[in-house]
Structure 1
């Protein structure tokens, strides 16, 4: 029987099929043969495939009956052990079995992800609970400085966030390597209910900055989520004029991203001056022009943003659009300049 057929038996939890393969073969030899079977491209062994598929019967047969215990901590080419696979696939019974057999709870795959971190990418709270009750470390960070709490906030798993806060009340204090809080992440990924939860349960500073000077409010503006903008501002006394390291405020970032609702909301609801400038003397039109955001340009013009403003290099927004080969934007801005020109 070839390797692919054996791996498919594992995927289908076909214990009888594996036993047929082992008929007449000494247990030790059978264990050795099965331990060497893997997918060439991924390095997934029978244990990885079974763990991911929830094939508890196959795992018991291979790890307990045949005593191929070397497979318990065998890493594939991504550094994943079977417990990583089971946790990521929310295979509860498989997780229980692997933990019972002594799988290392905080083993690291490539990029320093633990099984708990992978479990937090999925909404299954029970798998997360199983790992934490088995003493999984909730404070470990991956190579980007993210903890399980940060990951749960990225995915918007409200129930897991609550459980992690109950388990480790200071989980929310983590900053990633680039200075981003879980609130930044939840806002950027538009998880409104999670943002509300974090605002109520956690004591974030009103305008907490990441390493680029970006605040959660700015992130919400950039992704065009006015509900999250309003939620953050209602719980925190945010400075809507705050700028990042490049001197861009929320309006500039919204213009750059083409976030139409956020642009209008910032001007009409929060009262931002549509012609406010960055450190380099650019207004929101310059940033929208550079990114080819034609709809944002039309909206900004309708709100009174000047097409005649020159940046520190003497460039108008039309010049920026032309340099970036955004022809539609260039045409809109040139027409706006003509309309704004004083009569001869």
Structure 2
């Protein structure tokens, strides 16, 4: 319930649904109105998703900010294990990611769907500014997802040379680590036609 709600009142399921859909659609005024009326669970589940999850994955930063300011729990996870940080990284809005991190209740290396961390989701969706921010905040670039791929594999698939250099500079990833298909980062870069990345990896000792 919101801070203004009667602690003895039963949250309205209808109001929860309305809050969920308004958050998904980015309708900030409706979100504000519903919360002002009280008797609503700000963490209402639409399936296994909360309103702030929907706002984050759909890029509604203003709604995320408002919900967080009113006490939305960003540490909750959906049925896949994804939390709000995962969804913000999928959308790629850096300011939303910064906001969620500032609350300091979400483990930056928490695992979500297919064992993906937030930084892996950011890399999969090519949000390199988010990747750099999370790495600076302690994201573990050596962790692998359900496909056996770490951040180096993903950066090589996308051909993002700056991120490849960043990861290599940390000296925590085995440059010849293989994914579940037996491919190294250099194999992936070669298959996707990123010759500059291949050359860099070979110069750093890739087989």
Tell me if both proteins adopt one fold, taking TM over 0.5 as the criterion. Answer: yes
Give, in angstroms, the shift of residue 317 of structure 1.
Answer: 2.6
- 8 Å CA contact 1:222, 1:253 repeated in 2: yes
1:287 aligned residue: 154
**Aligned length, in residue pairs:** 191
Q: 1:318 to 1:341 in 2, by over 3 A?
A: closer
- 8 Å CA contact 1:256, 1:284 repeated in 2: no
Note the 1:186-225 alignment, pairs <5 A: 186-204=55-73, 206-225=74-93
| SS of structure 1 residue aligned to 2:113 | coil
- Structure 2 residue 44 is matched with structure 1 residue 174: yes
- 8 Å CA contact 1:274, 1:303 repeated in 2: no
Unmatched 5+ stretches in structure 2 = 1-11
2:118 aligned residue: 250
When Rg is computed on C-alpha atoms for both structures, the one with the higher figure is 1
- 8 Å CA contact 1:257, 1:288 repeated in 2: no
- 8 Å CA contact 1:184, 1:219 repeated in 2: yes
Q: What CA deviation, in whole Å up to 9, does each residue of 1:154-187 have, x standing for no partner?
A: 232222101111235324232222x111111111
Q: CA RMSD in A?
A: 2.7
| Residue in structure 2 matching 1:157, options 24, 27, 30 | 27
| Residue in structure 2 matching 1:228, options 96, 99, 107 | 96
Q: What CA deviation, in whole Å up to 9, does each residue of 1:251-278 have, x standing for no partner?
A: 111111100110110112x122333323
2:164 aligned residue: 301
Give, in angstroms, the shift of residue 207 of structure 1.
Answer: 2.0
Q: 1:169 to 1:228 in 2, by over 3 A?
A: farther
| SS of structure 1 residue aligned to 2:109 | coil
- Structure 2 residue 136 is matched with structure 1 residue 272: no
Unmatched 5+ stretches in structure 1 = 1-136, 141-145
TM-score (norm 2): 0.79
TM-score (norm 1): 0.50
Distance, in Å, in 2 between the alignment partners of 1:281 and 1:147 is 38
